[in-house]
Amino acid sequence: MNGVLESGDSNLLLRALGEMARVRGMAKVARDTGLGRESLYKALAPGAKPRFDTVLRVVGALGLKLTARVA
């Protein structure tokens, strides 16, 4: 995931989060984020432009934490 974040490619990030959500179970991730399953699929689709809070909710539901560091 660090490599994905460092790439700066938002589509790659959404694809990685989508894969992780599918492995964990999209219905469970949807419940944990408070989003509908269809909304979650749309938010993680290639080319989607989800709100930042949606991305943070998905990251949290997957048990991940985003951190920042000086480049």
Q: What is the pLDDT of residues 39-48, one digit of tens each?
A: 999 999 989 9
Q: Which residue has the tokens 């699929």?
A: 41
List Cα–Cα distances, 50 to 13, 26, 39, 58, in angstroms: 11, 16, 10, 11
Q: 45 lies in a domain?
A: yes
Asked if the structure places residue 68 within a domain, the reply is no
Q: What does the DSSP 8-state code read for residue 71?
A: -
Distance CA 63, CA 67 (A): 13
pLDDT digits (tens, 9 = 90+) for 25-67: 999 999 999 999 999 999 999 899 999 999 999 999 999 998 8
Is residue 23 situated within a structural domain? yes
The domain tally of the chain equals 1
Distance (Å) of CA 18 to CA 34, 41, 69, 70: 16, 8, 25, 27
Whether residue 67 is contained in a domain is answered as: no
pTM given for the model = 0.89
Range of the domain at 35: 2-61
